């Protein structure tokens, strides 16, 4: 296969959620793995519902996930291309005007239902003469335009679902243009995919039925271009639902990428969950998107809807943090003024204790700022202070110090260690003191053992 050219094509009508992120990441990581191209396309031909601020928010959310497009464009800038394609379809007799109102169509559907027939558009508009159309227009009716399907079985080899086929006769001729002259998603999508040479469309399985229509549109437009271009491959992934089983929607804001970010979850964990849940690859923490790309296999995606459990994500996020290298977080630490010679050792010392990245701020205060020590047993702490070893300290200093203290006081276990932890860190629990002690240093340790803020 040539280098893949894929695209993620959200309509900017709300904030993207974990299910949309799944589509975006599957495309982006596929391109990354196979050194292809990833296009971000905003399907914003619905002027009523599309908003520029949503488009911008989607870019922010994708950037946070690490999804970096090679190109970004908006359909609203490309209307001339769609007009040209519509004209070509009209000339080829594949796009025809229809005048039924929504109520008339509804009545037809009811009648079909009553007779036990499938609710497929009856093509009545194809029977209209020029005189009929002129009369309808004189009444003030404006046409919407339908694509005339060929009644044949459309087949494709879906990279997720395998051999797939749809009988086009079971489908209504789809409306491509609304009465007001605006485009529904179908035609612009196919025109853009052809124009940008998209050769693989990875998207949710809610689009499976659209695929038959779109393959026919590709074929019609390719024929118009004298055979230039090719029908892309398709991969329809399963959809994610909420933990209680409801479908996700851009409108409700549930499980939006923005809300997950605000909860302090790691973007890599969100990405790993979005991609791996509902596949045969077990959910596991990854150290980079490259690692996630390597684990990606479209053939491993399951075919059933999968529930997304946020509790699982919190746990994955913590485990992801625990494995991140200092290089991976250096800039994020620096953004919280955690930098300098201690920063690398600090990260390795505390990462295993973090539930969320922002916990570093408190631990940095313990090693580099001021805390109020908890002095439960002043006499013991004074003894401890008196036998603090000389600096420089390393990870053996703790054992050396507490050994002396144990011999001197006869204390051991929790009675020995816990008061020291409370005094040195102000916390009941935390990273190993052997690694924290050298970072805290003798000046602070000594002051805290005396019960002073330091």
Min CB(286)–ligand GLU separation in Å: 25
By CB under 6 A, name the one of 11, 199, 238, 267 that touches ligand GLU.
11
Peptide bond into 33 cis (omega under 30): no
Three-state secondary-structure class, residue 176: strand
For residues 72 and 24, the answer to whether their CB atoms sit within 8 Å is no
Length of the chain equals 454
- Does 64 bind ligand GLU (CB under 6 A)? Our answer is no
Round to whole Å and give the CA distance between 40 and 298.
Answer: 20
- Does 76 bind ligand GLU (CB under 6 A)? Our answer is no
Min CB(437)–ligand GLU separation in Å: 54
Min CB(15)–ligand GLU separation in Å: 13
Nearest CA to 400 out of 413, 415, 384, 414 is that of 384
Round to whole Å and give the CA distance between 107 and 86.
Answer: 28
Round to whole Å and give the CA distance between 288 and 271.
Answer: 10
By CB under 6 A, name the one of 9, 231, 316, 437 that touches ligand GLU.
9
Tokens for 135? 């009369």
52/104 with CB nearer ligand GLU: 52
Min CB(7)–ligand GLU separation in Å: 7
- Does 10 bind ligand GLU (CB under 6 A)? Our answer is yes
- Does 207 bind ligand GLU (CB under 6 A)? Our answer is yes
- Does 69 bind ligand GLU (CB under 6 A)? Our answer is no
249/300 with CB nearer ligand GLU: 249
Stretch that binds ligand GLU, among 4-12, 29-37, 145-153, 174-182 (CB under 6 A): 4-12
Min CB(10)–ligand GLU separation in Å: 5
- DSSP symbols for 392-417: S--TTHHHHHHHHHHHHH---HHHHH
For ligand GLU, the binding residues in 366-395 under the rule CB under 6 A are none
11/397 with CB nearer ligand GLU: 11
- Does 203 bind ligand GLU (CB under 6 A)? Our answer is yes
Backbone dihedral angles phi then psi of residue 259, each to the nearest 5 degrees: -70, -35
315 burial level (CB within 10 Å; 0-12, 13-18, 19+): middle
Stretch that binds ligand GLU, among 8-16, 149-157, 230-238, 362-370 (CB under 6 A): 8-16
Min CB(179)–ligand GLU separation in Å: 21
Tokens for 215? 């393959």
- Does 4 bind ligand GLU (CB under 6 A)? Our answer is no
Angstrom CA distances, 165 to 104, 156, 174, 193, 204, stand at 31, 6, 18, 21, 17
Min CB(208)–ligand GLU separation in Å: 11
Q: What is the DSSP letter of 244?
A: T
Tokens for 76? 């609203």
By CB under 6 A, name the one of 45, 189, 216, 320 that touches ligand GLU.
189
164/409 with CB nearer ligand GLU: 164
By CB under 6 A, name the one of 73, 96, 185, 326 that touches ligand GLU.
185
Using CB under 6 A, count the residues that bind ligand GLU. Answer: 8
Stretch that binds ligand GLU, among 5-13, 106-114, 135-143, 267-275 (CB under 6 A): 5-13
Min CB(73)–ligand GLU separation in Å: 13
For residues 76 and 192, the answer to whether their CB atoms sit within 8 Å is no
Stretch that binds ligand GLU, among 6-14, 28-36, 309-317, 438-446 (CB under 6 A): 6-14
Min CB(171)–ligand GLU separation in Å: 17
Round to whole Å and give the CA distance between 15 and 249.
Answer: 9
Tokens for 381? 């702490």
Instruction: Identify any residues that bridge with 237 across adjacent strands, giving them in sequence order.
Output: 204
By CB under 6 A, name the one of 37, 43, 44, 173 that touches ligand GLU.
43
Instruction: Identify any residues that bridge with 433 across adjacent strands, giving them in sequence order.
Output: none
For residues 89 and 218, the answer to whether their CB atoms sit within 8 Å is no
17/224 with CB nearer ligand GLU: 17
Min CB(236)–ligand GLU separation in Å: 10
Round to whole Å and give the CA distance between 331 and 334.
Answer: 5
- Does 238 bind ligand GLU (CB under 6 A)? Our answer is no
Round to whole Å and give the CA distance between 182 and 190.
Answer: 16
203/448 with CB nearer ligand GLU: 203
56/386 with CB nearer ligand GLU: 56
Q: Which residue, chain included where needed, has tokens 């010392």?
A: 349
Contact set with ligand GLU (CB under 6 A): 9-11, 43, 185, 189, 203, 207
């Amino acid at each position: 296969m040539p280098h893949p050219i894929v695209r993620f094509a959200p309509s900017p009508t709300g904030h993207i959620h974990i299910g949309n992120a799944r589509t975006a990441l599957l495309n982006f990581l596929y391109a990354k793995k196979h050194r292809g191209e990833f296009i971000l396309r905003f399907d914003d031909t619905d002027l009523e519902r599309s908003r520029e601020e949503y488009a911008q928010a989607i870019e922010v959310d994708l950037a946070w996930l690490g999804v970096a497009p090679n190109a970004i464009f908006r359909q609203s800038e490309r209307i001339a291309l769609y007009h040209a394609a519509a004209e070509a379809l009209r000339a080829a007799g594949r796009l025809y005007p229809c005048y039924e109102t929504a109520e008339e169509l509804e009545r037809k559907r009811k009648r079909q239902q009553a007779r036990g027939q499938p609710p497929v558009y009856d093509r009545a508009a194809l029977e209209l003469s020029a005189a009929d159309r002129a009369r309808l227009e004189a009444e003030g009716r404006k046409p919407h335009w339908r694509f005339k399907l060929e009644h044949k079985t459309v087949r494709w080899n879906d990279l997720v679902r395998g051999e797939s086929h749809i009988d086009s006769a079971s489908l209504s001729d789809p409306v491509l243009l609304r009465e007001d002259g605006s485009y529904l998603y179908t035609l612009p999508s196919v025109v853009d995919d052809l124009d940008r040479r998209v050769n693989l469309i990875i998207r949710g399985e809610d689009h499976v039925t659209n695929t038959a229509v779109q393959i026919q549109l590709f074929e019609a437009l390719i024929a118009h271009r004298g055979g230039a271009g090719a029908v892309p491959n398709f991969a329809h992934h399963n959809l994610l639902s909420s933990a209680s089983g409801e479908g996700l929607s851009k409108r409700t804001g549930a499980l939006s990428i923005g809300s997950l970010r605000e909860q302090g979850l790691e973007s890599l964990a969100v990405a790993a969950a979005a991609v791996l849940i509902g596949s045969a690859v077990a959910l596991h923490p990854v150290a980079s998107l490259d690692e996630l790309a390597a684990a990606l296999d479209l053939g491993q995606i399951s075919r059933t809807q999968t529930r997304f459990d946020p509790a699982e994500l919190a746990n994955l996020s913590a485990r992801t943090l625990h494995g991140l290298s200092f290089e991976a977080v250096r800039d994020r630490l620096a953004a919280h003024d955690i930098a300098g010679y201690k920063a690398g050792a600090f990260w390795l010392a505390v990462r295993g204790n973090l539930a969320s990245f922002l916990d570093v701020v408190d631990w940095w205060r313990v090693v580099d700022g001021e805390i109020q020590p908890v002095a439960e047993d002043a006499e013991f702490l004074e003894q401890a202070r008196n036998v603090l070893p000389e600096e420089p300290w390393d990870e053996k200093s703790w054992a050396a110090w507490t050994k002396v203290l144990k011999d001197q006081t006869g204390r051991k276990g929790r009675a020995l260690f816990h008061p020291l932890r409370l005094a040195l860190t102000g916390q009941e629990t935390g990273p190993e003191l052997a690694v924290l002690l050298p970072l805290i240093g003798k000046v602070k340790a000594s002051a805290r053992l005396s019960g002073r803020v330091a």
